[in-house]
């Protein structure tokens, strides 16, 4: 236990963090139990871990000396003296959650309990490449820290969701279609140059969103569910036995190029009839613009006039709300196709929950209704008997909340049974 | 530890089995380590379990007194005296593996090490209902036991694969399409009337086959793979993180009714273009019979003549082997459609292995080649980079071997950390 040794030498707890040090596996168990259940008394930690009272006393002493845990007041009594409850010391360190989109950067700074203390959004163009975008991210975080009087060395983890396929073990993007310049760029190293005490965990944005739902959203009672992001592209995050499932190469959930119609339109990937080419945001917008050109007497045509001849999927949703028949039909068709592909995945995977999120998911209630119909129409009765199909209740926040959950899960990396801080 | 108590009272070990008794969790750990690694010395069991030498001595004493384990001779020496190696006592008890098809019953009887000591097959019609089929199964097993001089009370587990959806926790068939009379029939209770010391584990046949591949076939180096059975129907068994994945209702892998072609033929399920309606055995046979009628100058037509105007998928395979162009085309088309649907599942699930089994899988090398082409054509490059696509090497044995693996995994049921025999 390097940590304990260092303490014995009289150093201040936080000085320990400039060198890699490991928590003993007992300390790691205690930390994990509070991460999972929230604030606990010593007795409750003993119940969860199965350790003796004397061992718990020693473990908690170590963790409070290190400054990881603190007593936060009295818990509920079972008759006798009310027990002191332990929780993470919020100022022990800070975490950054990043939700990177093709055109937006959403950042949350939280304390060690995962409570947001600062939140910001910035317009970006991810195609400008990793140096430009990550320098901006770095500067935004540094600026925030200066405002709040927090040192960069107090950031202990970054969780980052990116819109492309990630090799999770290395944190590298592999052949990312919409951000080719990011291929194999060392995001971890770049961040750790400025935040040397941070571990950096990078994952595909949809996996991160699924994790957000699992930890803080609709998914937390579901062992097996699918989170579907519908936006410029279509992708899925898979939760299996209560954990993110990444597949053998880390690219599980890439459902945008599943064939939805063998006689469908060509896709930018070179294939025919991909779901993404039929039902994602750009296609919804394109169909609406065609319809508006053909019939100038519609709400869609009015919107297009107001916006210099351009429409987005969001505009189609607005037009549908105002009763535009074609807009409604386009939305229904998109939902139906997504539902039919999801029906196949429901037959295969038998989840208890399908959550629809992403920028296009709030395009109108017809969208969810059509996805539901598509799924129910083509799935087997047994697999839909207890299936819930819904939009993500966390909405736009699911990305940063998932990124914070990712950071929280990895801030104590467990290796060989020991949780440790990993230095760059 | 009821077992130890009973021993202390001087009863014979096997008498214990007439009453439910539990192994301590330490004994269960030792048993599990040998199940996983094969015969081990005491030192090796200590290494695997992390127990002290003195604890291991006590645990092994208990297990050898009970007759579960026995010493089978000397292991490899590290210099000193050669250590004694422990394994399951083969005669401690016996297991039955059953692979039930629509028209066939395959049964294997093994010793407690899972080695087959008797194997039989019988023609059945599963539509005759559970009483008829299970009575036959019971009589076949009893007959075998009489021949071998083994008591029915020495059968400690039945693993049974059935061709329909199973609620795994209860072992009941739920709305089974090809065997409606089996709906919710208590298979466990029926078997246990004759074999009172047996635990009975029932699962869907394709899950059982996937388990067979996982434990004894191609799947044992793969954490995530899909086993596809192509026969009268089409279904999949899913292995996730080294375990059978059953989904939220136990019906995961039901891929036969995924839409393969929105403009395809109607399916018996009431939908249009289901994979099963396009590519399974009966459709292959039906297409071949149509072709033979249209062109009497073909190998297919010759075979049909020889078989009273009937063809099976197997005949189409034979005709293809003899160079019949239409037969080859039918096989290729079936393989291609299966491959295209599997491509979507590969994009979603990112397995490292897809295994093709079932009665139709050996219809000719064109079949596998077309499935491969279909998958590679429509899957994303990252998800197929390390993907192996192959036919099941275990062939017709995979069902009974999987059923034995199922029995072996459950013969010691672990409940609350204790492995125990479960009495009916």
Res A225: pLDDT: 97
Distance from CA of A200 to the nearest CA of B (A): 23
Which residue of A251, A269, A348 is in closest CB contact with B252? A348
CA distance A300 to chain B (A): 30
Three state DSSP letters for B315-380:
HHHHHHHCCCHHHHHHHHHHHHHHHHHHHHHHHHHCCCEEEEECCCCCCCHHHHHHHHHHHHHHCC
pLDDT along chain B (424 residues), means of 10: 34 35 73 86 88 88 91 72 86 95 94 94 96 98 97 94 89 88 95 93 95 89 95 94 92 93 90 94 96 93 94 95 94 96 97 94 92 93 90 88 92 51 37
Å between B239 CA and nearest CA of chain A: 11
B165 chain-A contacts, CB cut-off 8 A: 382
* pLDDT value for A371: 97
Report the pLDDT value the prediction gives residue A413, as an integer from 0 to 100.
Answer: 55
Interface contact A257-B380, CB threshold 8 A: yes
Mutate to test the interface with B, among A253, A350, A373 (most CBs of B within 10 A): A350
Output the DSSP codes for B30-45: HHHHHHHH-SEEHHHH
Subunit contact B383:A251, Cβ cutoff 8 A: yes
- How far apart, in whole angstroms, are the C-alpha atoms of residue B191 and residue B366? 42
Are residues A174 and B382, on separate chains, in Cβ contact within 8 Å? yes
Cα nearest neighbour of B273 on chain A = A378
- Say if the Cβ atoms of B258 and A349 lie within 8 Å: no
Among B165, B266, B344, the residue to mutate for chain A (most A Cβ within 10 A)? B344
Min Cα separation A367/chain B (Å): 21
Exposed / middle / buried, residue A157 (Cβ in 10 Å: 0-12, 13-18, 19+) = buried
8 Å CB contact of A253 and B352: no
Q: What is the pTM of this model?
A: 0.86
Cβ of B258 within 8 Å of Cβ of A348? The answer is yes
Burial grade of A79 (CB within 10 A; 0-12, 13-18, 19 or more): exposed
* Cβ contact B344–A258 (<8 Å): yes
A203 neighbors A161 (Cβ within 8 angstroms): yes
Subunit contact A262:B257, Cβ cutoff 8 A: no
Of A347, A381, A386, the CB nearest to B248: A386
For residue B70, give how far its alpha carbon lies from the nearest alpha carbon of chain A (Å).
33
Distance, in angstroms, between B155 CA and closest chain A CA? 33
Minimal-distance CA residue of chain B relative to A228: B348
Contact check, Cβ <8 Å, B254/A341: no
C-beta atoms surrounding A149 within 10 Å: 6
Q: Which residue has the tokens 């059968």?
A: B155
Cβ atoms of B163 and B229 closer than 8 Å? no
Q: Determine whether the interchain pair A378/B257 forms a contact, defined as Cβ–Cβ distance below 8 Å.
A: yes
Which secondary-structure segment (H or E) carries B17? none
CA atoms of B356 and B367, how far apart (whole Å): 10
Q: Which chain B residues contact residue A385 at CB under 8 A? A: 249
Instruction: Give tens-digit pLDDT for A353-401.
Output: 999 999 899 898 899 999 999 999 989 888 888 899 999 888 788 999 9
Average pLDDT, chain A: 87
pLDDT tens, residue by residue, A47-81: 888 888 888 999 999 999 988 999 987 766 666 66
CB–CB contact A351 B248 (8 Å) = yes
Q: Answer yes or no: do A238 and B380 touch at CB < 8 A.
A: no
A-B C-beta contacts closer than 8 Å = 152
Nearest CA-CA distance, residue B359 and chain A, Å? 21
Q: Count of CB atoms within 10 A of residue A189's CB? A: 11
Residues of chain A in contact with residue B166, where contact means CB-CB under 8 angstroms, are none
Task: Please indicate whether, in this complex, the C-beta atoms of A349 and B174 are within 8 angstroms of each other.
Answer: no
Residue B233: name the closest of B203, B204, B276 by CA: B276
Dump pLDDT digits (tens) for A159-205: 999 998 888 888 999 888 889 999 999 999 999 999 988 989 999 99
pLDDT at residue A19 greater than cutoff 70: no
Give the model's pLDDT for residue B73: 76
**What pLDDT, on a 0 to 100 scale, did the predictor assign at position A270?**
87
Distance of CA A342 to the CA centre of its chain: 21
For tokens 């019609």, name the residue: B125
**ipTM of this complex prediction, to 2 decimal places:** 0.85
CB contact (8 A) between residue A345 and residue B348 = yes
Find, in chain A, the residue whose alpha carbon is nearest to that of B351.
Answer: A248
Judged by CB atoms closer than 8 Å, whether chains meet at A344 and B258 is answered as: yes
Most A CBs within 10 Å: which of B169, B247, B277, B337, as the mutation test of the A interface? B247
Return phi, psi of residue B262, to 5°: -65, -20
SS3 A128: helix
Q: Name the closest residue on chain A to residue B271, using Cα atoms.
A: A378
Of A249, A340, A350, the CB nearest to B251: A350
Instruction: Inspect the interface and report whether the beta carbons of A383 and B343 lie closer than 8 Å.
Output: no
| Closest approach of A352 to chain B, Cα-based (Å) | 6
Q: How far apart are the CA of A165 and the nearest CA of chain B, in angstroms? A: 9
């Amino acid at each position: 236990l390097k940590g304990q040794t260092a303490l014995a030498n009289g150093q201040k707890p936080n000085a320990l963090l400039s060198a890699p040090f490991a928590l003993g596996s007992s300390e790691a168990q205690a930390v994990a139990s509070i991460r999972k259940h929230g604030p606990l008394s010593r007795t409750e930690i003993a119940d969860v871990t199965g350790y003796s009272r004397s061992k718990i006393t020693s473990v908690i002493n170590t963790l409070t000396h290190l400054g990881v845990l603190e007593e936060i007041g009295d818990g509920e009594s079972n008759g006798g003296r009310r027990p002191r409850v332990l929780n993470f010391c919020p100022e022990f360190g800070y975490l950054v959650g990043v939700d990177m989109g093709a055109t937006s950067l959403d950042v949350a700074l939280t304390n060690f309990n995962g409570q947001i203390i600062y939140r910001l959004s910035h317009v970006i163009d991810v195609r400008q490449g990793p140096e430009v975008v990550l320098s901006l991210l770095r500067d935004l975080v540094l600026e925030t820290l200066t405002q709040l009087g927090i040192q960069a060395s107090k950031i202990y983890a970054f969780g980052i969701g990116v819109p492309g396929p990630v090799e999770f073990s290395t944190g590298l993007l592999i052949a990312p279609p919409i951000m080719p310049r990011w291929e194999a760029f060392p995001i971890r190293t770049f961040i750790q140059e400025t935040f040397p005490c941070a571990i950096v965990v990078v994952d595909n944005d949809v996996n991160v969103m699924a994790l957000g739902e699992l930890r803080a959203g609709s998914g937390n009672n579901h062992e097996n569910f699918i989170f579907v992001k519908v936006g410029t592209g279509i992708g899925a995050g898979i939760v299996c036995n209560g954990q993110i499932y990444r597949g053998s190469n880390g690219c599980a959930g890439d459902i945008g190029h599943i064939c939805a119609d063998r006689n469908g339109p060509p896709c930018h990937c070179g294939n025919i009839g991909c779901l993404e080419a039929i039902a994602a945001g750009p296609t919804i917008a394109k169909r609406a613009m065609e319809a508006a050109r053909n019939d100038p007497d519609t709400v869609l045509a009015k919107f297009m006039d107001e916006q210099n001849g351009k429409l987005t999927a969001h505009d189609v949703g607005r037009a549908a709300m105002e009763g535009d028949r074609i807009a409604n039909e386009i939305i229904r068709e998109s939902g139906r196709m997504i539902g039919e592909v999801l029906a196949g995945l429901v037959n295969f995977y038998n989840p208890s929950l399908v959550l629809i999120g992403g920028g296009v998911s709030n395009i109108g209630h017809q969208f969810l209704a059509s996805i539901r119909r598509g799924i129910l129409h083509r799935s087997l009765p047994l697999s839909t008997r207890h299936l819930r199909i819904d939009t993500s209740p966390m909405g736009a926040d699911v990305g940063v909340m998932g990124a914070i959950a990712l950071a929280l899960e990895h801030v104590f990396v467990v290796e060989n049974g020991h949780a440790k801080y990993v230095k760059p």
